[in-house]
Amino acid sequence: MANLAFESAVSLASKVRDKEISAVELLEFYLQRVERHNPALNAIIFTQIEKAREQAQTVDEALANGDVLGPLHGVPMTVKDCYDWVGSPSTWGNPMFKDNYPKRDALAVERLQNAGAVIFGKTNIPLMLADWQTFNDIYGTNNNPWDLARAPGGSSGGAAAALAAGLTGLEAGTDIGSSIRNPAHYCGVFGHKPSYGVIPDQGRFLPGVFASIDIEVGGPLARSAEDLAVSMDVMAGPGGLDANGWRLDLPAPRKSSPKDYKVAVMLTSPYCEQDDELTDRLQNTVDALAHAGVQIDD
């Protein structure tokens, strides 16, 4: 049963649709893991348990009536603190905003829930989402599940740590300067920074701010590449007034084989010393890619 915690969101949704497990049972399974493992990690910093249980019950009732809500039907998930989720504060890790309770869900949150996801909590961030570690004065320090003495990265550190520890099935993060990619790397999970504007930013603003933040984007973190593709399809596309003026039509991937890809490699940098163990690990990865047929550019 423990392996269930580390399955992809696509697999979890399939199990719910096939009635191998109910959405309610799957939610309770993850909540038990959160209760057991989150105190040491401090990755999930706010929950709405009863709200999530009601949503899971609604998902199960829909399936009993022959309705599948979407590709994330019954998947328990969390979202980064900066996404507005009614009933929870959007603090950005800043004590000034600890009582900032939005009155409407972020558009991406609405879309995830409409696709069947059961959101039960929010994940930790650094102050103003502006660091490659995850600590703030409201919620404290978030640790890396592989080594509690180390950082999970940032700013979507809680998101990556919760996924790596099997505490959530899927996550929604944000990224300007590696805030999805950095913690995904630190924790060994999948993350994707989409092109600017692909995922709408409505419901992801500080109080009193209404203009988009230049180059900041929302994007998914997950335990598989397939999950990234599915959740991207769910969250992407214009919203609000924008939806009257344009639509998103993402093309299919043009590449289908490892040999179609080229990877640039920089193993060391004069600006950042590192030990041989890390360099060797990186070289092992490069060698594996080359063995798979990827074009390597040094």
Residues with catalytic annotation? 80, 155, 179
Spell out the alpha helix ranges (H) of 115-254: 157-164, 181-187, 225-235
Phi, psi of 53 (to 5 degrees): -65, -40
- Which amino acid belongs to residue 108? A
Q: Tell me which DSSP letter residue 269 carries.
A: B
Contacts of 291 (CB under 8 A, 6+ apart): none
Phi, psi of 77 (to 5 degrees): -150, 165
Query: Are the beta carbons of 27 and 52 closer than 8 angstroms?
Result: yes
Length of the chain: 298
Q: Within 10 Å of residue 257's Cβ, how many Cβ atoms?
A: 9
3-state SS assignment for residue 76 = strand
